[in-house]
Structure 1
Amino acid sequence: MTKSKASKTRTRIDALRAVIEKECTAPTCRESGTCRHEGEKEAARHMLSRLLEKLKDAAGDEREERAQMWADIYERGYDSHGNTYRMGAKYRSGQSMKERAAGIRADIKMARKAGKTPLVQEGPGLVSQALETYRFDPIGEAPEQIKFRVRIGAGYGSIHIGIDNIPQEWGWIAEEVTDYKGGKVTRWRRTQALKDLEAELKSVGEAYNADHGSNTMTDCFAKAFIVFVDSDDPETLAWRAEYERKRRGRRA
């Protein structure tokens, strides 16, 4: 069987070390007190040094190639086997779920604050662009009465971003439809403004997330966590209010 390149290299290293470490037993060298094989050992030391240096450089090149390969995979979001990879801009390895939830809260708070802050006039015809990134941000532009909540889901595998106090006329469109019994019922669908707000909140949460190789074809889910954006339509809110009223009545 033909030896591999790595196997041949290991054999050469072992042979050179054997020459370097071998104790000289030649009678002439012992009688003279000077080993005439020292030159051979010195040559072996130099050769071993050069060989190890080449191996070190090769290993370094391999690490760089692998780092570049993974950088390319994360940039396009998937590998050649259909596994998806993504790393959010604010994702940090080892970060706790509490830290991620706190970061999401801080980002939402900043967006709300910046959305209400007027642009600063710095001089004739000059306007500061420091807060312009939030000028058309759905979070900052959402109605003032809307409240946001961020909580960690059961099992620490998800983060839920809730939207409360949504103005009905701003967030929902009522549609009269016919149900399977032939009766008329109201169905609520989101306005484009609410859809934009939910998409922006989702992106805020995903900035702290990472996907390490999920593949839906094999039911493999390797995300750091799952981001949910929750909002209740008027019908759901009315049902919750009625349920809470009955619950309090039973406890009274």
Structure 2
Amino acid sequence: MTKSKASKTRNRIDALRAVIDKECTAPTCQESGACRHEGEKDAARHMLGRLLEKLKDAAGGEREERAQMWAEIYERGYDAHGSTYRQGAKHRAGQSMKERAAGIRADIKMARRVGQTPLVQEGPGLVSQALETYRFDPIGEAPAQIKFRVRIGAGYGSIDIGVDNIPQEWGWTAEEVADHKGGKITRWRRTQALKDLEAELKSIGEAYNADHGSNIMTDCFAQAFFVFVESDDPGTLAWRAEYERKRRDRRA
């Protein structure tokens, strides 16, 4: 990584620490005695921990990095009956689904905010050859036009993270395949960049999750909730737009 590039950027870690360490001077917070910016500081602490952990293992392979990421997100294991248990780093007993969804939104917002400046430091210790190609922050570095939705699923049993406005050339590759009649159809496949983005969103959601004793051998599932990451390919978007057009025409 060239020094000229480094000299034009701020350090993401410094930016996160600035958010964490900044003393709140808002009159409303001082009068109430409770800082309304604590959620933002908590999101910054969470992201700083993820970035530092990834930075430490940046030279490792993709498989090792992914395993380390999940090990950090979950404290997991098995009990004497073979049932799994796990607890996310940000899971809190008694936390409502609204609070979990709000925390996930705050984490995504913080990642987007910090992602505006590359993770670079001119001094020794953080800059290495591995940093040039390593994907530190798929959320922050995703195209600016992408929008995120965080919603509580039906029945309050899941949290759905939606990814909208994905640039076609960035998120999808088209593949022509034969259908069952011998004709040609287009199959859309996710690019590695979109896969990384969805995996990072999944990890943020799962950090609020916990499993209190699931066992697939007995069909017992005791997760606090499920996390789904949703993104529609260009074919699905085109079909949905056509469906809505026909529905409007029928109503006219």
After TM superposition, the score normalised by the length of structure 2 is 0.64
Contact persistence 2:91–2:210 (CA under 8 A): yes
Match in the other structure for 2:220: 220
Question: Sequence identity, in percent?
Answer: 84
Contact persistence 1:120–1:128 (CA under 8 A): no
Matched, 1:108 2:108: yes
Tell me the CA shift for residue 82 of structure 1.
Answer: 2.1
Q: Structure 1 residues 147, 181: CA separation in 2 closer, same or farther (over 3 Å shift)?
A: same
Match in the other structure for 1:205: 205
Q: Structure 1 residues 207, 240: CA separation in 2 closer, same or farther (over 3 Å shift)?
A: same
Contact persistence 1:120–1:127 (CA under 8 A): no
Match in the other structure for 1:176: 176
**CA distance in structure 1 between the partners assigned to 2:161 and 2:85 by the alignment:** 23
Q: Structure 1 residues 147, 127: CA separation in 2 closer, same or farther (over 3 Å shift)?
A: farther
Secondary structure, aligned partner of 1:160:
strand
Match in the other structure for 2:232: 232
Q: Deviations over 1:81-125 (max 9, x none)?
A: 22110000000000000000000000000000000035698xxx5
Q: Which amino acid aligns with 1:217?
A: M
Cα RMSD between the aligned structures? 2.3
Tell me the CA shift for residue 202 of structure 1.
Answer: 0.3
Q: Deviations over 1:10-48 (max 9, x none)?
A: xxxxxxxxxxxxxxxxxxxxxxxxxxxxxxxxxxxxxxx
**CA distance in structure 2 between the partners assigned to 1:173 and 1:207 by the alignment:** 30
Q: Structure 1 residues 209, 75: CA separation in 2 closer, same or farther (over 3 Å shift)?
A: closer
Work out which structure has the larger RCO, using CA pairs closer than 8 Å and 6 or more positions apart in sequence. Answer: 2
Q: Which amino acid aligns with 2:191?
A: T
Q: Deviations over 1:201-249 (max 9, x none)?
A: 0000000000001111111110000000000000000011111112222
Match in the other structure for 1:136: 136
**CA distance in structure 2 between the partners assigned to 1:232 and 1:119 by the alignment:** 30
Q: Which amino acid aligns with 1:192?
A: Q
**CA distance in structure 1 between the partners assigned to 2:75 and 2:241 by the alignment:** 46
Secondary structure, aligned partner of 1:116:
coil
Match in the other structure for 1:157: 157
Match in the other structure for 2:246: 246
Q: Structure 1 residues 194, 226: CA separation in 2 closer, same or farther (over 3 Å shift)?
A: same
Secondary structure, aligned partner of 1:77:
strand
Contact persistence 1:115–1:135 (CA under 8 A): no
Q: Which structure 2 residues correspond to residues 16-165 of structure 1 after superposition, within 5 A? A: 75-117=75-117, 125-126=122-123, 136-165=136-165
Which runs of 5 or more structure 2 residues have no equivalent in the other structure? 1-73
Q: How many residues align?
A: 173
Contact persistence 1:119–1:128 (CA under 8 A): no
Tell me the CA shift for residue 181 of structure 1.
Answer: 0.9
Q: Structure 1 residues 157, 76: CA separation in 2 closer, same or farther (over 3 Å shift)?
A: closer
**CA distance in structure 2 between the partners assigned to 1:137 and 1:167 by the alignment:** 18
**CA distance in structure 1 between the partners assigned to 2:171 and 2:235 by the alignment:** 13
Contact persistence 1:87–1:210 (CA under 8 A): yes
Which runs of 5 or more structure 1 residues have no equivalent in the other structure? 1-73
Secondary structure, aligned partner of 2:85:
strand
**CA distance in structure 2 between the partners assigned to 1:110 and 1:76 by the alignment:** 27
**CA distance in structure 2 between the partners assigned to 1:119 and 1:236 by the alignment:** 35
Match in the other structure for 1:167: 167
**CA distance in structure 2 between the partners assigned to 1:155 and 1:127 by the alignment:** 51
If you compute each CA radius of gyration, which structure gives the higher value, 1 or 2? 1
After TM superposition, the score normalised by the length of structure 1 is 0.64
